[in-house]
Amino acid sequence: MTEGKDIADPEEPTDAGDRAGLAARFPAGVLTTDPDVVAGYAHDESRLSRRSLPWAVASPANTEEVAHCLRLAAEAGIPVVVRGAGSGLSGAANAPTGSLVLSTHRMTSILEIDTTNRLAVVQPGVITGALRAAASEAGLFYPPDPGSVAFSTMGGNVATNAGGMCCLKYGVTGDYVIGLEAVLADGRVLRTGRRTLKGVAGYDLTHLLVGSEGTLAIITEITVRLLPAPARASTMVAMFASLSDAGRAVAAIGEDAVDTSMLELLDRTTLGAVERKAHLGFDGDVAAALIVQSDALTSADELAAAEAACRRCGATEVVVSSDPDEADLLLQARRLALPALEALGDCLLDDVCVPRSRVVDLVEHIQRVGVEEGLEIGVFGHAGDGNMHPTIIFDESDDASRTAAMRAFDSITACALRLGGTVTGEHGVGRLKSAWLLRELDPVSAEMHARVRHALDPQGLLNPGCLLPG
Ligand SMILES: Cc1cc2nc3c(=O)[nH]c(=O)nc-3n(C[C@H](O)[C@H](O)[C@H](O)COP(=O)(O)OP(=O)(O)OC[C@H]3O[C@@H](n4cnc5c(N)ncnc54)[C@H](O)[C@@H]3O)c2cc1C
């Protein structure tokens, strides 16, 4: 980790006269430089990531206005950061000094739900939960469900290739994206992909843009495929007397090829924090819980197999339910994990992913680091994917505590790489992990990243400092 605290970029002098002239050339009603508004667009939900005050916020309503804004920014050489809901956790939507933030909050139309071809076309500012609801009304299913499903945008989800709780069975956002419209840094409009079930013509530019964190182009329209609605899910909670036992059970469920649509882990610290917030009746003696769901037609058999695997690994109690209200309560508990931990102090959230077979090694390392650094670390995450969110609780006003938190963060991220994993499973690289990306990539791959970026954005104006170090 390269950042010490919520760091501001150095001030860059700007010519106020030039900027006023430039502002006047934006489409009517699109630009604001009101300092109170602009300040609200300086950073996302991450901690200890580089951020600063942008110059202005543009809120275009359509592709043409996005292109107009980008042409003006390119002409004036102003960096542009596109922003969805700002719910990101890696500093990817943080603004560089004097930049233009381009917000998609006026681009919120669901343009099409096509039941015959099972696809949807949306503008980037559509909230993911709204698309899921619209698909469901049409008898279809848009699977990706990040914890932020109620407030994050489709544009943000595509640009971070967001995951969520059902990736184990259904994959990540990018697995559903089949076509995009995007505006390049110079204002040209690009269409990628297709509307057909199959299609292999040319380079896969669609998936080059997926996960590009606003560094290659601004996405203005998204085409996703939809699935038939799944069967009603059954849910199980298994309690363990140690975090390591829960980690072993994750591997065992995988080994037994159980058809699960969700496999989430919460440790004692997280369960305690959730309990204090929501009073769901979790026992304070439980060291870890696994929430397991199956939406297979054979869900009863699948959960019986999952229960057997958990008991083999030392589960102290297992409760199975096919009641959708009970399942909702459990999912609510899981979605509360981060906000509940945030009530315990300042939180530095990590996001690492290891092979499922190594989850136990990862959680044991996290526990050791917590003891060594004298820090409480809440552990929760999508254990079935090997994607964990160790959350380091620290005191930002105390230098020693902050330094210890950063050491713990670095140690956990390094451990994930050693275990054959990756530095980010779903939150993205952003500004928080740009140095870590270079540790994960081999030198040739790192060079290709830089070349691709230069090819699409030769002036380097799109989200500078994000993904690759500035
Ligand atoms: C409580 C909570 C729970 C969360 N749970 C999850 C989870 O389970 N899984 C998960 O993956 N993430 C999760 N997140 C993180 C976050 O919600 C996701 O990263 C989400 O995809 C960000 O969407 P956004 O609209 O807020 O994007 P922003 O934060 O605004 O932007 C994120 C990145 O996308 C870029 N971007 C945004 N719109 C566009 C566009 N139109 N074109 C090009 N680039 C664009 C931005 O420049 C930035 O680089 C969670 C966050 C919170 C606060």
If you write DSSP's letter for every residue of 412-424 in order, what string do you get?
A: HHHHHHHTT-BS-
Give residue 12's pLDDT.
Answer: 52
- Please give the distance, rounded to the nearest whole angstrom, from the Cα atom of residue 88 to the centre of ligand 1: 4
**56-58/31-32 β-pairing:** antiparallel
Q: What's the token pair of residue 466?
A: 């994000």
The closest residue, in CA terms, to atom 44 on ligand 1 is: 214
**Atom 39 of ligand 1 has which residue's CA nearest to it?**
155
Q: Which numbered atom of ligand 1 lies nearest the CA of 425?
A: 11
Residues with Cβ within 6 A of ligand 1?
Answer: 44-45, 81-89, 92-93, 104, 124, 146-148, 152-153, 155-157, 159-160, 162-164, 213-214, 218-219, 338, 426-427, 463, 466
Is the Cβ–Cβ distance between 151 and 246 less than 8 Å?
no
Residue 87 is encoded by which pair of tokens? 């719910």
C-alpha 439: how far from chain center: 20
Report which protein residue has its CA nearest ligand 1's atom 15.
88
Cβ contacts of 128 within 8 Å, gap of 6 or more = 142, 144, 145, 146, 148, 149, 152, 153, 154, 157, 162
CA 429 / ligand 1 centre spacing (Å):
11
Contact at 8 Å (CB) between 344 and 241?
no
Give Cα separations from 321 to 5, 254, 304, 311 (angstroms): 44, 21, 11, 17
Amino acid, single-letter form, for residue 426: E
Q: Distance between CA atoms of 392 and 375, rounded to whole angstroms?
A: 7
Ligand 1 centroid to Cα of residue 167, in Å, is: 16
- Looking from the CA of residue 164, the nearest atom of ligand 1 is 8
- For residues 308 and 431, what is the distance between their CA atoms, to the nearest angstrom? 43
Supply 118's token pair.
């099972």
Q: What is the pLDDT of residue 470?
A: 74
Amino acid letter at 460?
A: G
Q: How far is CA 185 from the centre of its chain?
A: 24
Do residues 460 and 452 lie in contact, with contact meaning Cβ atoms separated by under 8 Å? Answer: no
Model pTM? Answer: 0.95
DSSP string covering 346-386: EEEE--EE--GGGHHHHHHHHHHHHHHHT-EEE-EEEGGGT
The residues of the chain scoring below 70 in pLDDT are 1-16
Res 7: pLDDT: 54
